Amino acid sequence: MSLRLAALVVTTCLCGSALAQTPAPNLTRQQRELLSAIVTAVEAAAAQPETNDLRWQHHVMRASDGSHYVAFSAEPATPLPTGAVVLYLRLATATPAGAQQIAERSPIKEWLAGSRTDPRLLPRTGIVIGEMPIMGPTGNMTARPTTTTGSNELRLMEKEREQARQDKEQRDKQRRNELEGKEASARNTVPFEDFDLASRSTRSDGRRIITRAFTAGPGDYDLFLAWADPSSSKPAATVQIVRKSITLEPARTIGLITSSVILADSVSVRPAPYSPSEQASHPYSIGLMEIVPALSTRYGRDGKLSVAFQIINAHSTDAGMPDIVVNFRIVQLNGERESPVASLRPQSYNTTTLPSDFNAKLGHPIFAAVSAPLATLNRGEYRLRISVNDRIAGTVVNTETAFTVVATPASLLAEAPPLGRPFRREVVFEAGVLGPLVDQLTPASPSPALSRALGVAKNGKPADLLIEEPVAPAEACIRTVLTGLALLSIGDASAAAQFQRALDQDAPIGPTQFLLGAARAMQSRDPDAIAAWQVAMAKVFAPDVTGQLLLDAYLRRNELQKATELAGSAPARIETTRVAATYIATRREAEAVAALERHLAEHSGDHDARWLLLHALYSQFVGAGKTPSAADAERFRRHARAYIDAGGANSGLAEEWLKAISLF
């Protein structure tokens, strides 16, 4: 399997909202009124049931302060307006069943009412817990005089530093307990809320979605997404609200783990990070890494599997440098069994691959990304198994993600058997080939021993020729050919050496070269087979089947020009199906269809010809890339049903092609 891998690392900190780092916006009166109406509508909808028809996905990562960073995308059943919308997000603590509604204040509502200056909850520090500078916060010390007057001043400073250290340890302990679910956080405001006055989230296919992120500790939550169309004559009347229940497990602050594995449409590198004002609507863009989450786990064979994930709690050196090795394996699921399919090249994250300024102790996250084409995978269910090895800690963590490879019209066409038929040595021993061949080898007055050998060959028992009876020296070349024929009949590759030896002994060139070509084709040495058959056709004798075998060899080697020339120069010696196969290979499907329909009018039981007709028709549909006409579709269905009902060798694929007709 040919793979193209990409390993991306970003040195940035994750926070819940880029807009939370920007100054409070100046709202117009209309914007303030509309946002206030949306907030009020969300509060009124606090008890509404969860939205079931919301197309939703989310991925949990680790924020730089140790909390959960949750990126999500949502596509409501009611399409979003085509223009910019006013978007409001609120993450509320879920009320247990039967309990009284939990009352939580909204900082944005308070800001709109003029009772606070900042509309959003300020993010916590981007430094990982436990890695605050050893001296602790020193902001108060900047106002202190630059000179001291004695030991009392030094003792006071030391006491302040010790108190700051103890306060930090207490805060870290409380925060760690909150993240691990050991202690409930004390708050009376909603855990997270945000808004965007001009949201324009759009997928590459043009579909409007909501894509954002938030940070939160463990717990059960209700996420409310609300939006309105500011361009409407009555914007407040356009408010729409959806609700999604979310449970976040306690965070593990020690021990190697991974984030959610993100199945992506693509993973790429941006020339520069998004600006703070743009970042909020691109929660899957982290630093320079741009992740476009896939809406489905189903991929066509002409697509590419891309995944990205975060490696969390990796140990590092004193300089903050980790040593991580990531291995990837793809396995196919066959019921309860698994079959290995491919191993992707391992990725390393250490001092030789990471930027020199990378420092895990400063909250720089490690993101791994891999991309692989799916063209070599058959349709079916698969799992990508991921193994992360922390070589400093000596620990390994495993994770996986499932995906499905499905057919597309083009990939179904690629599943068709090759147009150049594989060589079958049995063709040499068909009566219409072997009899004339032996006749061409028979001299005018053969000896009794040679006559008996020729009779054995002609009667279809060439293997018996392995027991040799002496012949006259002048007949040795013929006997050598017959020995080679015997070896060819049992699939012995040394038959080619016998035919070559016979040529050196001046055996008849036409039949001997034909047999040498057959022996070379049996060895999958098509260039040598082609050379031998070309010589045979240039002589007086060559079985009629020679041209057909030569044409198949050209098609197997994709030598389409030579195949076309041969089909045009000797049509009488090449059957219709071989000529039609050449037409299909050279994208002359209409000529193939015409030739095959004429042939089937006289030979309706020729299943090979009907299969090629289906191949030509389906190839036309795929090449055109548009829905076939009703008449063409009906013609395809009629021939497909006839082929399937007759039990054609490729009936399963014909069924799939029938289903695919509606996809054009």
Residue 177: pLDDT above 70?
no
183 φ/ψ angles, rounded to the nearest 5 degrees: -150, 130
Least confident of 112-126, 138-152, 499-513, 545-559: 138-152
**What are the tokens at 467?**
């027991």
Of 235 and 149, the structure prediction assigns the larger pLDDT to 235
Q: Extract long-range pairs of 499-507: CB within 8 Å, 24+ residues apart.
A: 502/477, 502/478, 505/476, 505/477, 505/480, 506/477, 507/441, 507/477, 507/478, 507/480, 507/481
Residues 132/120, Cβ–Cβ less than 8 Å: no
In whole angstroms, what separates CA 79 from the centre of its chain?
28
For 538-575, the DSSP string reads HSS---THHHHHHHHHHHHTT-HHHHHHHHHH-GGGS-
Q: How high is the pLDDT of residue 583?
A: 95
Dihedral-angle region of residue 647 (phi above 0 means left; psi in -120 to 50 means alpha; beta otherwise): left
Per DSSP, 238 falls in state G
In whole angstroms, what separates CA 27 from the centre of its chain?
44
Confidence of residue 637 (pLDDT cuts 50, 70, 90): very high
- Supply the Cα-derived Rg of the chain in whole angstroms: 38
Alpha-carbon separation of residue 61 from 175, 262, 275 (angstroms): 17, 10, 21
Percent with pLDDT over 90 in the chain: 60
Segment 161-188 shows an average pLDDT of: 62
Q: How high is the pLDDT of residue 148?
A: 39
In order of start, what are the domains of the chain with their CATH numbers? 18-122+187-406 (no CATH), 422-570 (1.25.40), 575-664 (1.25.40)
Segment 158-182 shows an average pLDDT of: 62
Confidence of residue 662 (pLDDT cuts 50, 70, 90): confident
**What are the tokens at 497?**
């050496």
Residue 55: pLDDT above 70?
yes
List the strands of the sheet with 55-62, edge to edge: 55-62, 68-75, 210-216
Q: How high is the pLDDT of residue 207?
A: 77
Q: How high is the pLDDT of residue 100?
A: 73
Residue 395: pLDDT above 80?
yes
Q: Residues 77-104: pLDDT tens digits?
A: 888 988 899 999 999 999 887 777 788 9
Residue 259: pLDDT above 80?
yes
Confidence of residue 108 (pLDDT cuts 50, 70, 90): very high
Q: How high is the pLDDT of residue 131?
A: 29
How many C-beta atoms surround the C-beta of residue 356 within 10 A? 8
655 φ/ψ angles, rounded to the nearest 5 degrees: -60, -45
Segment 33-54 shows an average pLDDT of: 93
Q: Residues 583-609: pLDDT tens digits?
A: 999 999 999 999 999 999 999 999 999
Residue 255: pLDDT above 50?
yes
Question: Residue 557 contacts by C-beta under 8 Å, 6 or more apart in sequence?
Answer: 420, 526, 527, 530
Segment 131-141 shows an average pLDDT of: 28
Mean pLDDT computed over every residue of the chain: 85
Residues 63/69, Cβ–Cβ less than 8 Å: yes
Q: Residues 519-576: pLDDT tens digits?
A: 999 999 999 999 999 999 987 678 889 999 999 999 999 999 999 999 888 666 688 9
Q: Residues 402-461: pLDDT tens digits?
A: 999 998 888 899 889 999 999 999 999 998 999 999 999 999 999 999 999 999 998 888
Q: How high is the pLDDT of residue 252?
A: 84
**What are the tokens at 239?**
């408010």
Confidence of residue 134 (pLDDT cuts 50, 70, 90): very low
Of 92 and 140, the structure prediction assigns the larger pLDDT to 92
Residue 37: pLDDT above 80?
yes
Alpha-carbon separation of residue 139 from 129, 142, 144, 412, 530 (angstroms): 19, 6, 10, 67, 86
**What are the tokens at 347?**
């990725």
CA atoms of 22 and 278, how far apart (whole Å): 11
Q: How high is the pLDDT of residue 606?
A: 95
Segment 212-232 shows an average pLDDT of: 93
| The one-letter amino acid at 156 | L
Of 636 and 286, the structure prediction assigns the larger pLDDT to 636
